[in-house]
Structure 1
Amino acid sequence: MSINQELADQEIASRTSLIVYLRNVNDDQFKLRRFGDIVYFSKKLHYLILYVNQAEAEETASKLRTFSFVKKVEFSQNDALDLDNQKIEQQISDMAKEAEEKLNQTDKEDWIK
């Protein structure tokens, strides 16, 4: 079961992140707090990451684009990541098998010498 499915079963509101590029991060970031949770902002690159409810994300993005201090708004690609527990466990077990095979081969080579 994926993490997104587990969250849906728990009735927790789905959230998504928006990447908002600003003209002046120092002053303008505080104006955006009413739209969602600011989890990161970069003074050097003039952008911030804003978490909003997924149901309201498109509407919030269109509102943000209307502000003069916002250069660009993008949706984060985090939702596209596959974080299925079974897939991760399978990858770990495959890596463990490969490591064990390599270890067995080096042990056999050591005995031959």
Structure 2
Amino acid sequence: MSINQDLQDTPITKRQGLIVYLDSASNQYKLRHYGDIVYFSKKMCYCVLYTDQKEIDQVMQKLTSLDFVKKVEKSGEENLDLSSSHIEQQITEMAQAAEDKLLKEQEKLEHLS
């Protein structure tokens, strides 16, 4: 379950993340007018920008029209399943895969000796 779904009935302003790919690192400062920059990668030349969910389509159009912006994507955080049952299932699957790998390695060592 996403955080935005949990806060659906509250008066808190809903926010949406955007990933904005830039031509050069110096242009990141120009994005402050469109939302809150929470992360910037100088090496990969992209920003994670949060803006109001109601205005997301307008902001995406404005950003796309800027000459220094290569590409704009919506964040996929809405698609993340953060429920405890899903997380427990993932941990169980990872533990089982690790045990299987260890058993195979032990069988190889026993077979060699």
Q: Distance in 1 between matches of 2:10 and 2:85?
A: 19
Greater CA radius of gyration, 1 or 2?
1
Partner of 1:59: 58
User: d(CA) in 2 for partners of 1:9 and 1:73?
Assistant: 29
1:14 aligned residue: 14
Distance 2:2 2:72 in 1: 28
8 Å CA contact 1:19–1:76 kept in 2: the answer is yes
- Structure 1 gaps of 5+ residues are 99-113
Aligned: 1:24 with 2:30: no
User: Is 1:69 aligned to 2:68, yes or no?
Assistant: yes
**Quick one: percent identity of the two aligned structures?**
49
In 1, Cα distance between the equivalents of 2:38 and 2:56?
16
Give the structure 2 partner of residue 36 of structure 1: 35
Unmatched 5+ residue regions in structure 2?
A: 96-113
On the 8 A contact 1:15/1:52 being kept in 2, the answer is: yes
Partner of 2:40: helix, strand, or coil?
strand
Give the alignment's Cα RMSD to 1 decimal. 2.4
One-letter amino acid of the structure 2 residue matched with residue 10 of structure 1? T
Q: Would you say how many aligned residue pairs link Structure 1 and Structure 2? A: 95
Deviations 1:21-72 (A, max 9, x none): 101112x111110110000001111111000111111110110011111011
Partner of 1:48: 47
